[in-house]
Amino acid sequence: MQQDVTQGPTDSPDDVSVHSEYVDRPLWIALTPLLALFALLAFNVAIYGDDSLSGANQTALILAAALASAISMLMGVRWADIQDKMLENIRAATPAILILLMVGALIGTWLIGGVVPTMIYYGLQIFNPAIFIFSCCVLTAISSIVIGSSWSTSATLGVALMSIGYTLGFNPGLVAGAIISGAYFGDKMSPLSDTTNLASGVTGVDLFTHIRYLSLTSVPSIVVTLLLYLVIGFVLGSPSAQVSTTAETQAVLDSRFNLSPLLLVVPGVVIFLIVKRVAALPALFVGAMLGGACAVLLQYPLLLELSDDLGGPYQVVMQAVYGDIALQTDNEVLDELLQSGGMAGMLNTIWLIISAMVFGGAMEASGFLRKITSVLVSRVRSTGGLVTATAGTCMLTNVSASDQYLSVVVPGRMFIRAYKERGLALQNLSRTLEDCGTVTSVLVPWNTCGAFHAGVLGVATLSYAPWALFCLISPLMTLIFAWGGIRIAREPA
């Protein structure tokens, strides 16, 4: 990822005495807000379906946060402390919120500037539908390794691949799952990734030792993932049936836009800036401004056409940045693709992130998350059990605290002593944090990662989650290695 790294808890989870009054509380009390949240979310999905992200799930998170806060206050926790933790979490999520707004602006200007249509046009010439899903995973893996960010990969290459996949007739959830699988493999394996550096730093493991050890489980996981995507592609892909649709789509794009390979320079510039370690927000801002410039310089007839409804070229560009814009054609598939919500289109996702941070803050301030994880630690009896407890804590933190970084920091600090006491090299811990914390964050709809990718790719988290095969296989591979005693490094006696 390319977010700014959030600050971990100021107290050490190894020092249980700091929150002993919280840890001693009954487990069922700590679980009550979490179970209430799960019940509300399940009910919302049953009633609203995919539309539950339009407000119902946000409300569920707020209600669960209120319940956690009320229980905490009855047990003596001050409201000021709970509110401070909520505000701290929201402050930590601010970079993600700003990036989401800029991605909305970028998609809008790239649409009217012809950048996205150009990527679709040439992508349709390059990709064979039979290996398209496989190619999505490979391309995003390479991109994410190079730039060290799954978020930036989804916001640039991922947007184009989603449009191409939609044109070819693939299930959007499947395409998004392949994009995310590749992006998160690359994110884990890149020395430029902040989560990779965070897992290494929290456990005190040398960065490249961590990556080499991580590759033992990640490489088999991505190989299995790619093989499955190849099988899926050959089962679903039907190139002969797509030829006429592809040719028709390209003809419509060519008639509506001034297409040129030069427009591919725009995403190239953004990727170059990120490779050069320019932060995601200014890099995406440059990309959005270049998209607007392309609209004025290369797509002026289109701006004049849209001006009939919006008032003028300036208003068209501004509308693309902040609001809804849609281009009409005689092709229903393209009509779905050639529209954007700008920055306003990201507001539901931002609302979800803020609500999740409020809930996570309430769970942290009350000590409920610490209580649940302390119970997991107390049940550990073997190496396999220790790794399983670590994995469970990572996933639980992703669900309850709604933040990927906390899913690395909290278990990392909590279990480091247990790994040392059992004579296990700490790269076992750093690998588990990435295999089970980093990659599962994107599978939780209200986690910052799940919300971000759903918003950027335009696919609900629960729609792409079953197809994000790498993110599902990676934790299983770690558990197989742990319980099978495969490549478990130990400290010298």
User: Which token pair is 432?
Assistant: 């588990």
The string of pLDDT tens digits covering residues 140-149 is 998 888 777 8
Q: What is the spatial distance between Cα 178 and Cα 233, in angstroms, rounded to a whole number?
A: 11
User: What are the backbone dihedrals phi and psi of residue 325, each rounded to the nearest 5 degrees, phi first?
Assistant: -145, 140
Distances (CA, A) of 129 to 121, 230, 232, 485: 14, 11, 11, 40
Tell me the pLDDT of the chain (493 aa) as tens digits.
444 443 343 344 343 333 444 556 788 898 899 889 888 888 887 888 767 778 888 898 899 999 999 999 998 899 999 999 999 888 888 887 888 888 889 889 998 999 888 888 888 777 778 889 999 999 999 888 877 788 888 888 898 899 888 888 889 999 999 999 999 999 898 887 878 888 888 888 888 889 999 999 999 999 999 999 999 988 876 544 454 467 777 888 888 889 989 998 998 898 888 778 788 789 889 999 999 999 999 999 989 988 888 888 999 999 999 998 888 877 776 777 788 888 998 898 888 888 888 988 898 888 887 787 777 777 777 889 999 999 988 998 888 877 788 788 778 877 888 888 889 999 999 999 999 999 999 999 988 899 999 988 989 999 999 999 999 999 999 999 999 999 888 887 6
* Cβ contacts of 56-59, under 8 Å, gap ≥ 24: 57/352, 57/355, 57/445, 57/446, 58/348, 58/351, 58/352, 58/355, 59/355
For 357-386, what is the HEC assignment? Answer: HHHHHHHHHHCHHHHHHHHHHHCCCCHHHH
Q: What is the spatial distance between Cα 304 and Cα 266, in angstroms, rounded to a whole number?
A: 23
Give the closest residue to 428 by CA, choosing from 379, 373, 388: 388
User: Which token pair is 105?
Assistant: 């602006």
pLDDT of residue 3: 46
Cα dihedral value 126, 222, 181, 134, nearest 10: 20
Q: What is the spatial distance between Cα 297 and Cα 284, in angstroms, rounded to a whole number?
A: 20
The string of pLDDT tens digits covering residues 392-442 is 889 988 888 777 887 887 788 778 888 888 899 999 999 999 999 999 999
pLDDT of residue 272: 87
Q: What is the spatial distance between Cα 409 and Cα 422, in angstroms, rounded to a whole number?
A: 20
